[in-house]
Amino acid sequence: MADARSIGIFDSGIGGLPIAKQVRSFMPNENLIYLADTLHAPYGEKTEAYILERSLNITDYLLQRDVKAIVVACNTATLVSITALRERYPIPFIGVEPGLRPAALNTKTGVIGVLATAKTLTSQSFHDLAQRVAMGATVEIQPCPDLVLLVEALKLSDEEASATVQAYVQPLLDKGADTIILGCTHFTHLKTVIQKVAGETVNVISTEEAVAREVNRRLQQENLLSAQQTPGSTLLLTNSERSRFEQQVKTLWGKAAIDTF
């Protein structure tokens, strides 16, 4: 049965926008509600209990808006919260995990670098994932506390970001990494700079396309795809300064309906 309800997507800020874009690209007729929890960002510096509480509160809010599925478009929130969300709510949840499996399949040196928040890298879920799918590769981790702040401030150019990116990427290169995983959705906005700093021989992996494919697959599986033949609507929400969010959206998305919650 066709389902015209919206797909909910949330992140601590604008990091999940590339995932929302890919979902829109794969499913142009679906209605989307994107929620940026910017008032409580960044999640990477918060306790697991706090992140879980935010994830539960956001889910309750999105369900009040009658969403049919929720994309947890944040690596940290996925690792901390998605199991509890799936146990508590009767709708599909699609999360974001670092792309360790494709990295393990593609590395030639046997060394994989991961750029992520400290909360992601120290979580038991990440440790278990690395042990399960790394296939013998060495996984070198690099916490990047400043990159989320760069993205939220729209400092995305070579001139503004390359020095900070270099400080995080170079230690991974020095350890022999030929594959670098962007283990935080915010970092996708810096992928061009990261690739330039790492060099053309290094494979930089982000996961937004894989997540969008999984959203499409799950909705098909659950008979939740929309049957409407016209382009779906997109609503972008923030709980922080609206003017700042409008500028971020204008830069990273383009024209869109914006509101606060």
- Choose among 70, 73, 66: nearest CA to 85: 70
Single out the catalytic residue among 51, 74, 80, 150: 74
Phi, psi of 203 (to 5 degrees): -90, 115
The active-site residue, picked from 112, 184, 198, 258, is: 184
Q: Can you tell me the distance from the alpha carbon of 58 to that of 9, in angstroms, rounded to the nearest whole number?
A: 10
Active-site residue, 74 included: yes
Question: What are the helix (H) ranges across the chain?
Answer: 17-26, 48-64, 75-88, 100-106, 118-121, 124-133, 145-152, 158-174, 191-198, 208-221, 242-252
- Closest C-alpha to 84, from 65, 66, 63, 57: 57
Give how far Cα 131 sits from Cα of 4, 135, 192, 194, 199, Å. 40, 8, 29, 26, 27
Encoded amino acid at 199, one letter: G
* DSSP type of residue 108: S
Q: Is 179 helix (H, G, I), strand (E, B) or coil?
A: strand
Q: What are the residue numbers of the active site?
A: 74, 184
